[in-house]
Amino acid sequence: MNQKGIFTKYRIAIYVVIVTVIIGIAAFLTIEKVDNGNVGLRVGLSGKIISKTALAPGFHFAGLGRIVEYPSRMVQADYNKSKDKERSITVSTSDGKRVDVEVKVNYHAESTEVANIYKKFGNVTGESMEDGWLRTQTQNTLRDQYVKHSILDVLTGRAPSLEADVLKDLRNRFAKEGYVVDDVTLGIPDVDNETKKTIDSIIKSTQDNEKAKKDAETAQTIADKDAAVAKTKADADLYTAQKTAEANAKLSSSITDELVRYKEAEARMKHGWVTVQGAESTIVDK
């Protein structure tokens, strides 16, 4: 083999190695990982969905495109006041009081619906979704439910169905776009100082009324007990008097003139006749 042929073979081998390396690098660069707790959706560079089937956690070939991830396990959207970001939601109660509500929404994306979610919202996921459509639906739900209750009922726990109603309403809203609400936690609404003073005054008044009611009930219980004891004693005394009267009546009815004369005769037979003469003389005549 001449030198030219050997050079050609080396050149071909080099080309093969280069192409292999390029293909390997390209393949490596187009492999993406779907994190645990998420599912993925493969989309092209143009944004078109390449595969409508959700990708399980792990490494996947993205091709000339990328993989968009959605949470398949429960995550939490925390809408509250924080130093980093203001996320609390303002609503109005039935008495027109505006309050800031802090709410935590636990949710996840339905795996079979990620394609529809992408068609609706595109690349909007994670915190961007929480600050966008998810927050809007949460805000609409809270506004619709809090307006059914007064601020006093909300703050004093007299609206026990509020959290359950919020959960039911929010589940319906999220489900329409492929999201599942697992749970909702409502915080205590933040009100202004004047409202706090008014509420505290009402609560104290209610507590005082409850205490007075309890004291009255206790006093009535003691009075009823004393009355019961007195009645028992009176009944016992009356019973004794009745039995004594009955005995006396029975005794009286048994003393007849014949019995008196009989007893008198018995006494005379035993002791003789007693004759009294003057103030100091007694003569017994047997």
Please enumerate, as own/partner, the contacts of 25-32 that have beta carbons within 8 Å and a separation of 24 or more.
27/61, 30/61, 30/62, 30/63, 30/64, 31/59, 31/60, 31/61, 31/62, 32/59, 32/60, 32/62, 32/66, 32/67
**Phi, psi angle pair for 26, to nearest 5°:** -65, -45
Task: Give the pLDDT score at 226.
Answer: 75
Task: Give the pLDDT score at 277.
Answer: 55
d(C-alpha 200, C-alpha 160), whole Å: 20
pLDDT > 70 in the chain, percent? 73
Task: Give the pLDDT score at 232.
Answer: 81
pTM of this structure? 0.62
pLDDT tens digits, 213-253 = 777 777 778 877 877 777 787 777 777 878 787 777 776 67
User: In which residue are the tokens 């409508």 written?
Assistant: 52
d(C-alpha 39, C-alpha 53), whole Å: 10
CB 93 within 8 A of CB 154: yes
d(C-alpha 99, C-alpha 187), whole Å: 11
Give the Cα-Cα-Cα angle 58, 133, 121 (nearest 5 degrees).
55
d(C-alpha 10, C-alpha 260), whole Å: 163
Residue 260 has pLDDT above 80, yes or no: no
Higher pLDDT, 120 or 207: 120
Residue 27 has pLDDT above 50, yes or no: no
Higher pLDDT, 162 or 220: 162
d(C-alpha 116, C-alpha 42), whole Å: 13
Q: Which of 5, 1, 15, 69 is nearest to 38 (CA)?
A: 69
Of 46-50, 58-62, 190-194, 216-220, highest mean pLDDT: 46-50
Distance from chain centroid for Cα 172? 21
d(C-alpha 196, C-alpha 186), whole Å: 19
Structure tokens at 172: 């319906």
Task: Give the pLDDT score at 10.
Answer: 63
Radius of gyration of the chain from its Cα atoms, rounded to whole angstroms:
50
